[in-house]
Amino acid sequence: MRRLRRWNVLALLAAFALVLAACAQDSTDTTVADTAPDTTVADTAPDTTVADTTPTETTVADMMITTGPGVTEEPCPGGNPDRGCIYLGVLTDESGPFAGASAGLYGGQSLFWATVNAGDGISGAYDVAIPENLKKDTAYQPEKLVADYNTIAEDVAAIAQSLGTPQTLAALPDYTRDSTIAAPMSWWSGWAFEDLVIEFGTGYCFEAMNAIDWAVQAVPAAGRTFATIGILEFPSDYGFDYAAGVKTAAEANGLTVAWEETVIPVSAGGDPAQTEAVAKIVADPADVIILVTGPSETAAIVGGAAQQLGASVPLFIGAAPSWNSALLASAAAPAFELGIYYQSSFVGGWDYDSAGHEKMRQAVTAAGFPANDFFISGWVSQYGLKAALEGAYASGDLSHEGIMNAAFALTDVDYEGMMPSRSFAGDPNDVFPREGVIGGYSADATTGIATVQDFFVGPTAESYEFTEACAG
C-alpha cells in the first residue's frame, strides 16, 4: 500500500512564447482524423544548463536550502533575477496516438508555471521552468520513455508529465532509483497504490461508476429506456479500467452489459471509419453506448451510427479523453448536434466556473491561443507538484528525496475549484478522489461540452471498497 510505506510518511515568459507558439499551431490541429502531429513543437528551447547532480546547500532568501538535481541558485532563463530556478521534465507523446493532445498538455503546464512565476513563484524564492530541452517525445513507447527519462534525470527536480500508464509503470524502477516524483498523464486507478506518482483527478474506474449512476436517473428522465449497455474500448489500461467501473455500476444498478468490444486506435492501424464498431451498434443496439476511445474514433463511431440508425441511434457516453472540440468541425458534427453525446470527466470543462478555470482561460487568452480542453488537463495536473515543491522548500530540502517526502505528506492540495481538494497521505480507500462531473453537447459551450451535472459521487463509487486497481 503506497500510502503506508511512503518514507513515513518565465523563463519563462520568453521561453513560453516559443513553447506556446507551437501549442497554438497544434491546438488547431488536434483533429479527429489523424493522431499524427500536424505540427512539430519546435526545438526552440533556450540553451539551458541545469542541475548540479550533487546535493548542495545554498542560501536562498536567508534560508539554508538543501538542493539536488534540477534546482539551481541561478535564475531561470528570463526569470526573476532574485530567485533560483527549479527545472521540471516532460515525457510526452508527440508522434504516437496522443500526439494531438501533447502540445495542449505541455502548453497548459507551461502556462500554469508562468502564472505561478508571475506571482510569488515557489515561496518567493524560486521560479519553475519546463524548457524545451527537458521535454521528450516518447512516442507512447514504454522503453523510449524510460530511455528519455534517463537522458534528463540528472537535470530535473521532478517530472511534470509522464504520459501513459504502461509507459509510466515501466519508468517506476528508475523513478524509484532516483526518488523522482512524477505527475502521470493518465487516470489509471492503480496510481493510488504506486509510489512516486502524484496523480490528479478521479481515476477512470470511478469516473465510469459515476457516469452509469448518473445515467440511471438521466436517461429515463429524457424519455428513453436504460436497461442495456454496450462498451467500445481501447485494449489498454484506459479501456479496461473504465470498463471495469462500468460493469461494477451496471451490476449495482441491475443493468445488463450486452456486449464489450475493443477498438483499435486509428493511430495504431485501426480502421478510420470504425466499420466493425458501427456495425455492432447497428446489429445489436444497446440503450447506451460507452466510448473509451480517442476523438478520432468517437467521431467515426457516433457519426457512422447516427447515419445508419437515424432517430433510433442510441445515446453515447464518452470517457474524458474521448472528446476534442475539433469534432465539431468534422463530418460527424451533425450527429453531435442531435444531443446524443454525453461525457464523463474528472474536471470541469472549459467554461466551468472556478477560480482555477478563470486563471487558465485568462492565461490562454493572453497568450493568443484558441480554447482547447487539453490545456485544462495540463494546467490542473501541476497543482500537486506545486504543493510538493512548496512543502519541500518549507522543510529546507529541495533534493529529490525532500520533494518526494513533501509530496507524500500532502494532506490538502487545493485545485482552486477545478477539482475537489484531496490528500495524498493515507490509505487509498480513504483519500483517493471519487468525484466526477458530467457534460453534454451544447452549441453554446466554447469547446462543445457544457456541464449537465456538477461534481458528485454516485452511490456505486461511494460504497466501492478500493483495495486494488480496478483493472490492470
Which amino acid is it at 213? D
pLDDT exceeds cutoff 70 at 40: no
pLDDT for the residue 57: 55
Question: DSSP readout, 420-450?
Answer: --B-SSS-HHHHS---EEEEEE-TTSTTSEE
A 10 A CB-CB count for 351 gives: 17
Q: Which residue has the higher pLDDT, 295 or 274?
A: 274
Q: How far is CA 433 from the centre of its chain?
A: 14
Percentage of the chain modeled with pLDDT above 70: 87
Mean pLDDT score, 367-388:
95
3-state secondary structure of 472: coil
Q: What is the pLDDT of residue 284?
A: 95
Residue 267 — pLDDT band, cuts 50, 70, 90? confident
Is residue 179 classed as helix, strand or coil in its secondary structure? coil
Q: How far apart are CA 18 and CA 335, in angstroms?
A: 37
Amino acid in position 138: T
For the cut 60, the answer to whether the pLDDT of residue 21 exceeds it is no
Between the two ends of the chain, the Cα-to-Cα distance in Å is 16
CA distance 148 to 168: 12
Per-residue cell: 191: 496510481
DSSP state of 297: H
pLDDT of 31 > 50? The answer is: no
Confidence check: pLDDT of 293 > 70 = yes
- What are the residues whose beta carbons fall under 8 Å from the beta carbon of 301, sequence distance 6 or more? 232, 263, 274, 277, 278, 281, 289, 291, 293, 316
Residue 156: what residue type?
V
CB distance 442 to 450 below 8 Å? yes
pLDDT at 464 over 90: yes
- What whole-number distance in Å separates Cα of residue 66 and Cα of residue 51? 13
Beta bridge partners of 406: none
Chain centre to alpha carbon of residue 55: 31
Amino acid (one-letter) located at 203: G
Is the pLDDT reported for residue 43 higher than 50?
no
Strands 397-398 and 341-345: unpaired
Burial label, 426 (beta-carbon count in 10 A; 0-12, 13-18, 19+): middle
Q: What pLDDT was estimated at residue 63? A: 65
Question: Given a cut of 60, is residue 82 above it in pLDDT?
Answer: yes
Does residue 235 surpass a pLDDT of 60?
yes
pLDDT band of residue 35 (cuts 50, 70, 90) is very low
pLDDT confidence of residue 81:
96
389-407: pLDDT as tens digits? 999 999 999 999 999 999 9
Would you state the pLDDT for residue 266?
86
Q: Report phi then psi at 262, rounded to 5.
A: -85, 150
Q: What is the mean pLDDT of residues 434-440?
A: 97
